[in-house]
Amino acid sequence: MNRITIDRSSLKTTVDKVAAAFSRLKGIKEGLAGVNDAGGIQFDEWDWEVGVGLYGFLRRALATNDCKALDELVAWYAWQIERGLPPRQINSTAPMLPLAILTEHVDRPDFRALVEDWADWLVHRLPKTEDGGFQHVVKERLNDGELWDDTLFMAGLFLARAGVICNRRDWTDEAVYQFMIHTRYLSDPITGLWYHGWTFNGRHNFAKAFWARGNAWITVAIPELFELVPSLAPNDRRFLANVLKSQVCALKRHQREDGMFHTLVNDPTSPLETSATAGIAYGILRGIEAGILDKQDRVHADRALIAVLRQIDREGVVHGVSDGTPMGHDLDFYRRIPNLPTPYGQALTMLLLIDVLFEEDAEA
C-alpha cells in the first residue's frame, strides 16, 4: 500500500494556522480569555464547537508532553468554572471530555468534582427517550423523544471516560448502552450508513437523511470509545467494531475520486462538505489505530486528507463547511444549507491534522 508523503514542517504550520483561525472564528480577542497572560487559549464560549477543538488541543499537548499547553487548558477551565457554566444539555457536555482526561494529569479536586457531578446528571437527570436513550436536548430546544447521532460524541464519550476515571462501571455501562440504543434506531442495516435522527413521536427517521457530518461523528466516536474504555467487554467491542466496519464500507463507496464527501453521503447533487470529510478521515485513521479497520482503508483517509488540505486557505480558514444543521424533515433542507467557515470545521480538521502529524512522529 502506497502512503502519501506530507512535509512535516508544512503540516505543523498548517495545524497552527487552523488553530489560530478557530479562535478568530469564535470572535475572541487575542489572549487567554479571563487570564492576564498573552497568548493561550482564546475561547470565551463553553459549547460543543469549543469542546471538539479543546479535545484536539489536549491530544496535541499530551502527544508532545507540552506542559505549557496543559497549564493553559487548566487556566481556561478554572476561569470558566469561576464565571459560571451554562445550563447542562447534550452540546454543553462536549467540553467535559477533555476536562475529564485533564483530571488524570493535574491535581484539581474541583475539576474532579465537576466531572463526577456532570456524569451523575447525565445518568439521572438528563431527559431520556423511550428505551432510555439520551434525549438530544440542546440550548435551543428540548427535542422531545429524539435521538441524534451527534449525541454519542458530545456526551457518550465523556460519560464513558468519567466511568473509567472515577471507577464507576455503571457510568461506563450506561455510555456503552447509549451506543447500542443509538445504533438500534439510527444505523441503517441495509446500507450501513447512519440516519441523522430518530423520533419516538411518530417513530420515524425524519427525512431519512444520511447526513455526512452526522456519519462522521459516528466514524470518530466508536474508535474513540475503544481507546477511552480499554476494558470494554469483548461482545461490546465485537458488536461496535462490526458497526464501524459496515459504516466505513458504505462510506468508501460514496467517497468521490477527489477524496471529498457530499453533505448527504449518498446524494451527489448535494454540496461537498469539508467537516464531514475531515471527520470521516480522522475516524478511519483512529479505527485503524484501534485495530478495528484494515490498514488498506488508509488510502481513503489519505485521499480525504489531501482534499481537506485543499480547502484550507493561507490564513488557516477551512472552507466548504455546511452551516449548523438542525434536524431536517426533507432532503432539500440539507441540500439548501450554505457552506461557510465554522469553528467546528476548524475543530474536526485539527483533529485530523494532529493525528496525522503525531502518527508520523511515532513512526519516526
Q: Is pLDDT of 339 > 90?
A: yes
pLDDT of residue 6: 80
- CA 187 to chain centroid: 18
Would 113 be classed as within a structural domain?
yes
* Pairwise CA distance, residues 164 & 328, whole Å: 36
Domain-located, residue 331: yes
User: What's the predicted TM-score (pTM) here?
Assistant: 0.94
Answer whether residue 195 is part of any domain. Answer: yes
| CATH number, domain with residue 120 | 1.50.10.10
Residue 170 lies in a domain: yes
The overall average pLDDT reported for the chain is: 92
- The residue range of the domain holding 67 is 8-359
3 part of a folded domain = no
Q: Answer yes or no: are the C-beta atoms of 301 and 285 closer than 8 Å.
A: yes
Please, which pLDDT band fits residue 1 given cuts at 50, 70 and 90?
Answer: low
Q: Residue 278 corresponds to which cell in the numbers above?
A: 475531515
pLDDT given at position 363: 60
Distances (CA, A) of 186 to 86, 129, 233: 29, 14, 22
In the structure, what pLDDT confidence band is assigned to residue 36 with cuts at 50, 70 and 90? Answer: very low
Q: Provide the residue type at 106 as one letter.
A: V
Is residue 148 in some structural domain?
yes
> Does the structure show a pLDDT above 90 at 199?
yes
In total, how many domains does the chain have?
1
Flag the least confident range among 53-67, 126-140, 175-189, 251-265.
53-67
- Residue keyed to cell 463553553: 46
Give me the percent of the chain exceeding a pLDDT of 70: 93
What's the pLDDT at 19? 86
Higher pLDDT, 364 or 57: 57
Degrees, nearest 5: CA angle 231-232-235: 135
pLDDT tier for residue 134 given thresholds of 50, 70 and 90: very high
Question: Does residue 110 belong to any structural domain of this protein?
Answer: yes
Is residue 39 assigned to a domain?
yes
Q: What is the pLDDT of residue 64?
A: 83
**Percent helix / strand / coil, the chain, rounded to 5:** 60, 5, 35
Q: How confident is the model at residue 3 (pLDDT cuts 50, 70, 90)?
A: low
